[in-house]
């Protein structure tokens, strides 16, 4: 259930912030890409932890969720900056 909630929250946040919309006519700098990613990720993490608090999901490991976010951050930034 947590995986479904995290993915739905990611879909909601990226839709609101137009995260996947790119402007092809101008090149964006790395700083802009990183700032947009951090903004979206922070809002998504806030909503995810709020969801866990509201459902009283104490059985879920907060440290595992934090490691997941760290791993996702490294992989996504490497992908976006690399390509």
- Domain of residue 73: give its range: 2-19+28-82
The Cα–Cα gap between 77 and 37 comes to: 8
Cα–Cα dist 14/40, whole Å: 7
pLDDT at 75 (0 to 100): 92
| pTM over cut 0.85 | no
For residues 49-57, give the mean pLDDT. 84
What pLDDT, on the 0 to 100 scale, is given for residue 23? 66
Residue 41's H or E segment, with its range, is helix 30-54
Q: Does 25 have pLDDT greater than 60?
A: no
User: How many domains is the chain partitioned into structurally?
Assistant: 1
Task: Give the pLDDT score at 27.
Answer: 61
- Pairwise CA distance, residues 41 & 43, whole Å: 5
């Amino acid at each position: 259930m947590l995986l479904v909630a995290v993915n739905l929250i990611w879909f909601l946040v990226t839709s609101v912030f137009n995260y996947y919309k790119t402007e092809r006519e101008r090149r964006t700098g790395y700083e802009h890409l990183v700032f947009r990613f951090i903004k979206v990720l922070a809002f998504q993490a806030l909503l995810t932890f709020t969801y866990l608090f509201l459902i009283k999901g104490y059985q879920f490991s907060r440290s595992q969720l934090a490691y997941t976010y760290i791993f996702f951050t490294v992989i996504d930034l490497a992908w976006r900056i690399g390509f």
